[in-house]
Structure 1
Amino acid sequence: MSITKESELIGMQRVSQAVAKTLKLMREHAKVGMSTKELDEFGGQILKEFGAKSAPYLTYGFPGYTCISVNEEAAHGIPSPFKILKEGDLVNIDVSAELDGFWADNGGSFVLGKDLYNHQPLVDASKAILRKAIFATRGGIKISDIGGLIEKEAKKRGFKVIKNLAGHGVGLSLHEAPENILNYRVRMNGERFRKNTTVAIETFISTKSTIAVELQDGWTLVGNKGGYVTQHEHTILITDNKPIVLTAENEIWEAAS
Structure 2
Amino acid sequence: MSYIIKTASEIKKMRISGKLVSEVLEMIEEYIKPNISTEKINNICHDYIVTQQKAIPACLGYHGFPKSICISINDTVCHGIPSDSKNLKEGDIVNIDVAIIKNGYHGDASKMFYVGKISDLAKRLCEVTRESLYQALNIVRPGIPLYKIGETIEKYVQKEKFSVVKEYCGHGIGYNFHEQPHILHYKNKKNNNIVEENMIFTIEPMINTGGAEVKCMKDGWTVKTKDRSLSAQYEHTILVTKDGCNILTWQKNETIPSILINQP
Query: Could you state the TM-score of these two structures normalised by the residue count of structure 2?
Result: 0.91
Q: Which residue of 2 aligns with 1:223?
A: 225
Paired residue secondary structure (1:92): strand
Q: Which amino acid aligns with 1:128?
A: E
Paired residue secondary structure (1:150): helix
Paired residue secondary structure (1:174): coil
Does residue 1:245 correspond to 2:247, yes or no?
A: yes
2:18 and 2:108 in contact (8 A); partners too: yes
Q: CA RMSD in A?
A: 1.5
Provide the rounded CA distance (Å) in 2 between the counterparts of 1:2 and 1:251.
Answer: 30
- Deviates most, 58-67 or 105-114: 58-67
Once the two structures are TM-superposed, the CA of residue 103 in structure 1 deviates from its matched residue by 0.5
Aligned residue among 147, 151, 167 for 2:150: 147
Does residue 1:106 correspond to 2:109, yes or no?
A: yes
Does residue 1:2 correspond to 2:5, yes or no?
A: yes
Aligned residue among 72, 77, 97 for 1:74: 77
Query: Could you state the TM-score of these two structures normalised by the residue count of structure 1?
Result: 0.93
Q: Which residue of 2 aligns with 1:204?
A: 206
- Deviates most, 187-196 or 31-40: 187-196
Provide the rounded CA distance (Å) in 2 between the counterparts of 1:142 and 1:217.
Answer: 37
What are the equivalent positions in structure 2 for 1:83-122 lying under 5 Å apart? 83-116=86-119, 118-122=121-125
Does residue 1:134 correspond to 2:153, yes or no?
A: no
- Deviates most, 78-87 or 20-29: 20-29
Q: Which residue of 2 aligns with 1:27?
A: 29
Provide the rounded CA distance (Å) in 2 between the counterparts of 1:189 and 1:89.
Answer: 35
Q: Percent identity?
A: 33
Q: Which amino acid aligns with 1:171?
A: G
Q: Which amino acid aligns with 2:57?
A: S
Contiguous gaps of at least 5 residues in structure 2: 257-264
Distance 1:166 1:152, change over 3 A: same
Provide the rounded CA distance (Å) in 1 between the counterparts of 2:155 and 2:16.
Answer: 34
Q: Which amino acid aligns with 1:12?
A: M
Which consecutive segments of 4 or more residues in structure 1 shift more than 3 A?
250-254
Q: Which residue of 2 aligns with 1:61?
A: 64
Contiguous gaps of at least 5 residues in structure 1: none
How many pairs are equivalent?
A: 252
Distance 1:153 1:176, change over 3 A: same
Provide the rounded CA distance (Å) in 1 between the counterparts of 2:11 and 2:189.
Answer: 33
